[in-house]
Structures are given as C-alpha cells and as structure tokens.
C-alpha cells in the first residue's frame, strides 16, 4: 500500500499530538505536524503532501485567509479542523474550497473515515453539524475554579498536580473535571482541553 502523507497543523500541543498519534496508528498514513500556519507552509514547500488539515483558530490563519494561502502552496486537498467554529464558518470554508470541515467533536473512527474520504478526492461535510442552527448559539459557562482546572488539564497536568497548584483536594479536582466535561460535552480529558481551548475558555 502506498503511504499517504498528511500534514496536521494545530497550535495546541496536546490536541495536535493526540490526533496525530491516532492517525499514525492507521495503516498507510504518515503524519507530519506543525504548530502554526507559517510552519505548515514551510513544510509544504519541502514535502509533497496528500492532505493538509489546518486548525481554524491557530496563529496565522486570519479566519479563512490561511486556507487560501495553503491552497496556493499545495496541490493536494486542504481541510479545516475546529472545535468551536459555528456552522456559518463551516459553510464558508467549504465554499472557499476546503476539502472538508472536521469538528473536533468527531469520534476517532469518524475522523479517520473523513480523512480517507478526502484522500479519495471527496468533500467531507458533517451534516448534523451544518444543519444544527443551535450549534452557533451554544454558550458554555464555567466557574472560575472550573476554568483553573481546565487550564491545568490543557497543560497536560495530572489531577494530583492540578490539586497541588490550586491548593485543593485531588477528589475536588476530579469532580471539577467531571462537571466541566459534562458542560463542554467532552468525552474525556483531552477532548475537554481541545474544546475548551477552541471556545476561548483556557
């Protein structure tokens, strides 16, 4: 099987490495990573990629301006990855020539399916996301302490480390993680960090 080369650009270390690690486990996929649009463009000039995934909110993107810059730099499909952009951004991205719009709320297998679709030259459109008018109205309100805990999670700290930093009990941290994950609709700690960052909560 010919290897397919992907470029994943996201400025959040935990999110980037988690997604990259999962994609690397799939047969036939090789994944390079970048932490900004400029770094991604530099890599795209030296390696011929089969698909580029760009985080909508990372430095240099300038809304969808980064999509246009990357499309000019490569001959392969370019898709947008986002945790909290509203449906109108997804529609604009697709109208601007994105090969797909991937919400970070996708479960891992759906993410792989979307990637394989786009590698075949198809456009990936998450219909439930695009057709949900309430998605853009969603507002998440966290308490100051929940935000403190979420920041610790986003930095990759354990519950014990977060408890020590905030001078609270570890069991209290666990409760906060559970509550904020429910508020964010997150499946696990990494997903909570991913969503919280894209919603501007960390």
CA dist., res. 92 & res. 66, Å (int)? 13
CA dist., res. 146 & res. 201, Å (int)? 10
CA dist., res. 55 & res. 35, Å (int)? 9
CB 98 within 8 A of CB 74: no
Output the DSSP codes for 182-201: HHHT-SSHHHHHHHHHHTT-
Rounded mean pLDDT, 58-73: 90
Domains in the chain and their CATH numbers? 4-130 (3.40.50.2300), 144-198 (1.10.10.10)
CB 13 within 8 A of CB 102: no
Q: What is the pLDDT of residue 168?
A: 93
Q: For residue 29, which phi and psi values (nearest 5 degrees)? A: -115, 130
Q: What is the pLDDT of residue 138?
A: 52
Whole-structure pTM over 0.95, yes or no? no
pLDDT in tens, 166-195: 999 999 999 999 988 888 888 888 888 888
pLDDT band at 136 (very low <50, low <70, confident <90, very high): very low
pLDDT band at 135 (very low <50, low <70, confident <90, very high): very low
Q: What is the pLDDT of residue 131?
A: 53
The two tokens of residue 189 are: 């700690």
């Amino acid at each position: 099987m010919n290897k397919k080369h992907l470029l994943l650009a996201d400025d959040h270390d935990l999110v980037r490495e988690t997604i990259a690690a999962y994609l690397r486990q799939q047969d036939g996929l090789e994944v390079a990573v970048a932490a900004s649009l400029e770094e991604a463009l530099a890599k795209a000039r030296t390696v011929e990629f089969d698909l580029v995934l760009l985080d909508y909110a990372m430095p240099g993107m300038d809304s969808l301006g980064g999509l246009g810059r990357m499309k000019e730099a490569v001959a392969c499909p370019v898709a947008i990855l986002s945790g909290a952009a509203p449906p109108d951004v997804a529609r604009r991205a697709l109208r601007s020539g994105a090969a797909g719009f991937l919400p970070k709320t996708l479960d891992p297998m759906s993410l792989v399916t979307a990637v394989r679709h786009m590698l075949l030259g198809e456009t990936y459109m998450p219909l439930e996301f695009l057709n949900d008018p309430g998605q853009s109205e969603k507002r998440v309100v966290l308490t100051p302490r929940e935000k403190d805990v979420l920041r610790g999670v986003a930095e990759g700290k354990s519950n014990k480390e977060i408890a020590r930093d905030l001078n609270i009990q570890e069991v209290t941290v666990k409760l906060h993680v559970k509550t904020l994950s429910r508020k964010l609709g997150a499946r696990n700690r990494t997903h909570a960090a991913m969503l919280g960052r894209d919603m501007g909560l960390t």
